[in-house]
């Protein structure tokens, strides 16, 4: 029987591979057989992740915040490998600001990494995918782009943009064999939550209450879905967003029991 999740011989690029969801995704792609290019700024962490991988991983230090960074990083990738089959656009930063707190510089900062570099890196690698007969782009968005979170208007905007670009790119590149999908994580216990964990006592427990499965996610919960989208298991799926949140954004978790309500 053919293993449709086998990625042997494929070359994958993962941004933000130095920790969290990106680290778990890089490890899962490697375990499925892919050779992985790991991108991020923290060289020590990238080396740590790569050292536990088996298929000749490549560490490519890059800062995706500046104008032009997506394009130059794509070129740097193509200088290192003969082509790309899988791109996981995972690098991202949070931006917790109310509408009145948010400055224009902060707006630009979060859109530069979460949206602009993501798109330009993808465009920069698309010809290589087409030359190899197609490929799979997996964008990491967020339930924040779907459910209207409080105090995170700019971050939510970036993630909504990622899901919209996912559908648009799927239309542009479907005829060339490139599939483009996004994974929208819910609450995943990574470093991205560190500031909130320290500043808002009880927040972690309160948020957990709103998850149907009653636990926070871990990077591997998202990584397995990334492998699904990267692999031939999802060969007839493109332009989709799959929510990975244990039942939160679109699942009712109200404590009020229906039997307690008047009809």
Task: Tell me the site size for ligand NAP, rule CB under 6 A.
Answer: 27
CB 245 within 8 A of CB 147: no
Question: Which of 14, 21, 110, 129 is close enough to bind ligand NAP by CB under 6 A?
Answer: 21
236 is catalytic: no
If one asks whether residue 157 binds ligand NAP (CB under 6 A), the answer comes out as no
Helix, strand, coil share (%) of the chain residues, nearest 5: 45, 15, 40
Classify the C-alpha dihedral 109-115-118-123 as positive or negative: negative
Q: Which helix (H) or strand (E) holds 210?
A: none
Subset of residues 179 to 208 that bind ligand NAP, contact rule: CB under 6 A: 185, 187-188, 190-192
CA dist 148 and 145 (Å) reads: 7
| H helices present in 53-147, as ranges | 69-80, 104-111, 118-131, 144-147
Stretch touching ligand NAP by CB under 6 A, among 5-13, 86-94, 97-105, 250-258: 86-94
If one asks whether residue 42 binds ligand NAP (CB under 6 A), the answer comes out as yes
- Please state the φ and ψ torsions of residue 22, each to the nearest 5 degrees: -65, -40
Residue 75 CB, shortest distance to ligand NAP, in Å, is: 16
Which lies closer to ligand NAP via its Cβ, residue 204 or residue 237? 204
Residue 239 CB, shortest distance to ligand NAP, in Å, is: 19
- Round the CA-based radius of gyration of the chain to a whole number and report it: 19
Nearest to 48 by CA among 64, 77, 27: 27
Strands annotated E in the chain: 11-15, 35-40, 58-61, 86-89, 135-140, 178-185, 241-244
CB 11 within 8 A of CB 37: yes
If one asks whether residue 40 binds ligand NAP (CB under 6 A), the answer comes out as yes
Which lies closer to ligand NAP via its Cβ, residue 143 or residue 178? 143
Stretch touching ligand NAP by CB under 6 A, among 62-70, 99-107, 174-182, 225-233: 62-70
Which lies closer to ligand NAP via its Cβ, residue 21 or residue 169? 21
Two structure tokens written together for 253: 């978790």
Active site residue: 7, 14, 74, 155, which one? 155
If one asks whether residue 145 binds ligand NAP (CB under 6 A), the answer comes out as no
Q: What is the binding site for ligand NAP (CB under 6 A)?
A: 15-16, 18-22, 40-42, 45, 63-65, 90-93, 113, 140, 142, 185, 187-188, 190-192
Please list the active-site residues: 155
């Amino acid at each position: 029987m053919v293993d449709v999740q086998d990625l042997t011989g494929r070359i994958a690029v993962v941004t933000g591979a130095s920790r969290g969801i990106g680290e778990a995704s890089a490890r899962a792609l490697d375990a499925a057989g892919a050779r992985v290019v790991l991108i991020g700024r923290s060289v020590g962490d990238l080396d740590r992740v790569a050292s536990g991988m088996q298929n000749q991983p490549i560490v490519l230090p890059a800062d995706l915040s500046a104008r032009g960074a997506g394009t130059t990083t794509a070129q740097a990738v193509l200088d290192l490998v003969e082509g790309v089959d899988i791109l996981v656009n995972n690098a991202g930063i949070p931006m917790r600001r109310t509408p009145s707190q948010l400055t224009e510089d902060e707006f630009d900062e979060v859109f530069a990494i979460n949206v602009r570099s993501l798109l330009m890196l993808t465009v920069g690698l698309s010809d290589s995918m087409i030359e190899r007969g197609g490929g799979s782009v997996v964008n990491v968005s967020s339930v924040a782009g779907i459910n209207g979170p409080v105090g995170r208007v700019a971050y939510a905007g970036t993630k909504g943009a990622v899901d919209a670009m996912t559908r648009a790119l799927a239309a542009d590149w479907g005829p060339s064999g490139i599939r483009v999908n996004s994974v929208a994580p819910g609450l995943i216990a990574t470093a991205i939550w560190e500031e909130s964990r320290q500043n808002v006592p009880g927040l972690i427990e309160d948020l957990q209450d709103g998850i149907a499965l009653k636990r926070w996610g871990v990077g591997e919960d998202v990584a397995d879905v990334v492998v699904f989208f990267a692999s031939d298991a999802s060969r007839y799926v493109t332009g989709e967003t799959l929510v990975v949140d244990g039942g939160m954004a679109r699942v009712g978790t109200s404590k009020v029991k229906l039997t307690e309500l008047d009809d």
